[in-house]
Amino acid sequence: DGPQGNVMGAGDGMQRKAQHGQQPTSVQERFGIGSFVYSRRRPFHPIRLMEAIKMLPVAVDEEGHCISQWDIPSVFTGTGAGTAKVDPMSPDVEAARVMHSVLRSKGFVWLANQADNMHYWSHAGHFFALEPLGPWWAATTKQEWPHPPSEVERILEDWHPDDSITGDRRQEIVLIGIDMDSEVIEEVMDKALLNDAEMVLYQAHARRNRVAIDLQKPEGLRVGAPTV
């Protein structure tokens, strides 16, 4: 199945029902359980991403450092246990309250400082992990791609139609929670993305280090639409 495998498959039935217009179950209605997909075509700044993650109900130490599994080297470590705390006077207190409504989330993450490697985001309750999953297809040579045309079509469905440097790099995170305010959650996550000035620097670096891939799109293939 390639570097991404089937990690997004299990547990996403609720999201598939939402996409196909199916009605929520009585349990969903009673407890306000819902889901949505956070999808962007811009990398995360690793430090700002950590600040967003610390707003989730994840385990942190006495200094507010996340103690779950990470693969962003030399940023923070810690021991002990607790839950993330936010200064009541902080303007982020409402955002943190909303982020605590997320019970589970998982998906693919694009980090600016590790742009060739896809990372897998896995969160359930107080557990959180962000771990390398393998290279994005855009960071490999065409010779490393699978040969069956159907597999190539699957890759190209996630390909940015106007930016071969970006390729299949993306943020794609399914969030499941109770009475979630998706607009506030998206605003928190968007603040962790590279801003416009940082994107200029990132893209200049990416062009100098790109892997040239000659794409031959199958006739009639629908390539995924870009997002912010």
Q: Please say if the pLDDT value at position 74 is more than 80.
A: no
Return the pLDDT at 67: 57
Whether the CB-CB separation of 13 and 79 falls below 8 Å is answered with no
Average pLDDT of 51-57?
89
Q: Please say if the pLDDT value at position 24 is more than 80.
A: no
Mean pLDDT of the chain: 76
Distance CA 150, CA 136 (A): 18
Distance CA 167, CA 161 (A): 8
Average pLDDT of 46-51?
92
Lowest mean pLDDT among 69-78, 170-179, 182-191: 69-78
Whether the CB-CB separation of 112 and 187 falls below 8 Å is answered with no
Task: For residue 214, give the H/E element and its range.
Answer: none
Whether the CB-CB separation of 172 and 105 falls below 8 Å is answered with no
Instruction: Using pLDDT thresholds of 50, 70 and 90, give the confidence band for residue 63.
Output: low
Residues 6+ apart with CB under 8 A from 12: 174
Return the pLDDT at 227: 47
- Count of other CB atoms within 10 angstroms of residue 209: 10
Q: Please say if the pLDDT value at position 125 is more than 70.
A: yes
DSSP tag of 79: -
Return the pLDDT at 75: 32
Separation of first and last alpha carbons in the chain: 27
